[in-house]
Amino acid sequence: MKQIRTFVALFAALALVAAACGDDDEAAPGETVVVTSIVEVEVPGDTVVVTETETETVTVVGETITFWSTETQPARLEIQKGIIDRFTAESGVNVILVAADENNLPELMITNAASGTLPDVVFHPLDFTVLWAEQGLLDQDAAAAVIDSLGADTFAAGAIGLATVGGQPTAVPSDGWGQLLVYRKDLFDAAGLAAPTTFDTIRAGAEGLHDPGNDFFGITSATKAGEVFTQQTFEQFALANGCNLFEGGELALTSANCAGAVDFYVDLMANFSPGGGQDVVSTRATYFAGQAGMIVWSPFILDEMAGLRDSAFPACDECGDNSSYLAENSGIVTSFAGPNGAPAQYGQIGYMGIGAGANVPAAQAFIEFWLSDGYLDWLSTSVEGKFPMRRGTADDPTEFVDAWQTLPTGVDRKAPLSDFYSAETIADIAAGADNAARWDIGVASGVLYTELQFPALIADLIASGGAAADALPGIQAEVEEGVELAAG
């Protein structure tokens, strides 16, 4: 049994704010708004059961907008609430903060679009941006105006370009990260193993260190069906093997390169990883327990690996005397290559989108405040995973990048990354946020991230021992159907 506690509104698939505020999702000044919060749930197996809720009555002091955020950890929510309080004090606009799990976002957006209660502002990953724009869920004109107001040249050009449809940005870039392969450098060195920078050296490292009889696995990485984390992890292996979403303008999921990437990943996970569906929590727990030679994770793991967060604390044998042992004895690989591709690193960018039908002036003012006066506080929620996509201002083009490098990270304890990681590693992390690759961002990728066909395929093949080439035509057909449906 697992308990989850949060202290702001947490959506399952509902429109609580709409019920409180009326059909137009905007309360009048002086009106009381009842916000329902799920504060305790039980998760037996894959079923979520709400066991306790709380309600809070908020008196609206001015205009009201809703802000959905996927940064749902309590410490990060407190920082966001602090930024919101400052914004409200300055603008008079009341903001209802809603914690929304990233895996549920597609369903939540569709559900709330049907009821006319889309959020005024939604922080979300690149995976959904273009598809939502194509579906009419985002106000592109409003987002483009924010970028113009802040100065398009103050943002990373690539971050704007990835989320552009019809020559116009769909949402406002906020922050980004590049995925990492973290490995036990001490164990690799002791065994005479090369750094895991290719499929061959990754497999050699996994095989060379795998010792399940002593609860040690060559690698731990995402395999659970229905998880965005599994799609993100696999996509780096696909990119590394030259598996592209499109070839010559045609969907190419049945290519030999794609089949090779799936088969390699399935073989690796079936033979050298813990059994059962592995997710963001279980993979980290295995590596932190000192029971895996490698892990594929986002850079959000770096502060935790240094012993700065109690709820995700390293528990390896050596960590008892030195909580930063894993940080000091792990190597970082930002990009690796398969036999049919070049070195590649998966990257993620977070965006602030303005929902269709939003209170546009208030939403725009909120985002502009968030990416200026509130920006460093926002980046501080998880420094290692939030490299600024807005580099600076017109007066100081590198203001936010320079300040990011000095921000302390951690939850229960704070320290700069430079206390635990080399300048070269930190530079690689920053470069990954700028240069990491993705499958073509568009409706097809939006369908893949909404329906999560590859996580289901990986889980199935690990269990069945089947071959990717036999299953990929079915996935390609599903994606083609999804693209046709999105086109109307």
- What is the rounded distance in angstroms from the CA atom of residue 436 to the CA atom of residue 178? 6
Predicted local confidence at residue 5, as pLDDT: 25
Of residues 31 and 290, more confidently modeled: 290
* Residue ranges matching CATH 3.40.190.10 in the chain: 3-177+350-419, 180-345+452-486
Range 153-179 average pLDDT: 93
Predicted local confidence at residue 426, as pLDDT: 85
pLDDT digits (tens, 9 = 90+) for 51-64: 344 455 555 556 99
Range 16-40 average pLDDT: 43
pLDDT digits (tens, 9 = 90+) for 259-275: 999 999 999 999 999 99
pLDDT digits (tens, 9 = 90+) for 86-104: 999 999 999 999 999 888 8
What type of residue is 448?
Answer: L
Cα 409 from chain centroid (whole Å): 18
Tell me: pLDDT of 26 over 60. Answer: no
Q: pLDDT class for 16, splitting at 50, 70, 90?
A: very low
Range 425-452 average pLDDT: 86
Decide: 117 and 9 in contact? Cβ < 8 Å: no
Decide: 245 and 253 in contact? Cβ < 8 Å: yes
Q: Which residues make Cβ contacts (< 8 Å) with residue 366, sequence separation at least 6?
A: 65, 67, 87, 91, 93, 95, 120, 121
Superfamily name with CATH number, domain 3-177+350-419: Periplasmic binding protein-like II (3.40.190.10)
Fold that domain 180-345+452-486 belongs to in CATH:
D-Maltodextrin-Binding Protein; domain 2 (3.40.190)
Range 183-209 average pLDDT: 98
Predicted local confidence at residue 51, as pLDDT: 39
Q: Which residue has the tokens 């088969």?
A: 263
Full-model pTM: 0.78
pLDDT digits (tens, 9 = 90+) for 444-465: 998 999 999 999 999 999 999 9
Predicted local confidence at residue 30, as pLDDT: 54
Question: Which two three-digit tokens encode residue 427?
Answer: 């530079």
Tell me: pLDDT of 32 over 80. Answer: no
Decide: 284 and 298 in contact? Cβ < 8 Å: no
- What is the rounded distance in angstroms from the CA atom of residue 145 to the CA atom of residue 425? 36
The arrangement of strands across the sheet holding 180-184 comes to 294-297, 180-184, 330-333
pLDDT digits (tens, 9 = 90+) for 386-419: 999 999 999 999 999 999 988 999 888 999 988 9
pLDDT digits (tens, 9 = 90+) for 467-482: 999 999 999 999 999 9
What value does the CA radius of gyration of the chain take, rounded to a whole number of Å? Answer: 22
Of residues 341 and 446, more confidently modeled: 341
Predicted local confidence at residue 307, as pLDDT: 96
